[in-house]
Each structure stands twice: as C-alpha cells, then as structure tokens.
Amino acid sequence: MNHPSFQIVRSLHPLLLASVALVVMVVSGCGVGGPAFHPVSGKLTIDGQIPANVQVSFYPVDGKGGPIASGNVDAGTGRYELTSSGGVGKPAGKGAVIGKYKVVLNAGSSAASSNEAMMAQYSGGNNQGKAPAIPKASFKKEFGSASTSPKEVEVKSGANAIDLAL
C-alpha cells in the first residue's frame, strides 16, 4: 500500500472533501455573504396621485423568503428603491431576495421626518419645542399591515421594476 499513486490520492483526500463541501454550500445558497439581493424600484401612486411622506415596504408572504425590504417614496416623482436588512449577522443590500411579498405602507418616512426637520421643531420651530406631529396617512388603513394588505408582489431574479398603483 505504499504505491506512489496511492500516496497522492491519500494526500488529496482532505482537499477533495473541502472542495465538495464548498460546491454544495454555494449551490444550496449558504454562501458566506448572506442572501442574494435583486434590485427593486418603481413608482407608487395612490388613487392616481403621488403620495407625500410615505415609505413602502415588502414583507415576505407567510414569513418565508428573505428579510423585509423598504424604501422612501420621493414626494415629487413617486419613485422608490428598496433596501433590505441582511438579517442577524449578515450584511444589508440594495433590493430584495427572490420571493413573494405583501406591500405595506408607512406614513411619515421621508424628508419631513429628517433629523434637520425634527431639530427645527424641537428647537423652537413650528411646534415650539413639542414633539413633531405624526403625519396623516394618505392611504387606506389596510395597507398599514402585512396581515391586512391586499397587495402582493413577486421579486424575481435580476432587476425588478414594480410600479404600485393602489
């Protein structure tokens, strides 16, 4: 059993096992960098109008899929672009993970709620040191929660242009 070819195979055995394990991890999606994000952007309109002070979020259907993705809606154009948290110990990314999502809207998540605007209100601006007013939602209440939102979308591989006319 001291044949030279057997010695070569025995010395390559650990390397071969490590290579197979790496291939299995990559193919199964268990890469070191976290989930694969795919760009998601679009335009949001509500009853044909561009809303102000709104954030759009995509919640995975039935808790399956990737992390929640969200983005602020530009009050001038209605455009949004999603960013996802990567999850515990994983990096965030632009876009969302492939899967089905419920569309959820939140009021007051734009430039009006910026640090500068809040500082102006607290330091003697419009509200004379009072807490900033909570903006009134410009959308139906059902869109405020993943459990009640009737709008479902699907993120696919590659760039996703998802316009939302609610």
pLDDT digits (tens, 9 = 90+) for 96-106: 999 999 999 99
For residue 165, the tally of other CB atoms under 10 A from its CB is: 12
- How far apart are alpha carbons 36 and 29 in whole angstroms? 8
> Which position has the token pair 């959820």?
104
Average of per-residue pLDDT values in the chain: 76
Which pTM was predicted?
0.66
Going by C-beta distance under 8 Å and a sequence separation of 6 or more, which residues neighbour residue 163?
42, 43, 44, 45
Question: Within 10 A of 92 (CB to CB), how many other CB atoms are there?
Answer: 13
Bridge pairing between strands 160-161 and 40-45: parallel
Domains in the chain: boundaries: 1-32, 40-165
Mean pLDDT of 122-147: 70
Q: What angle do CA 118, 123, 125 make, to 5 degrees?
A: 75
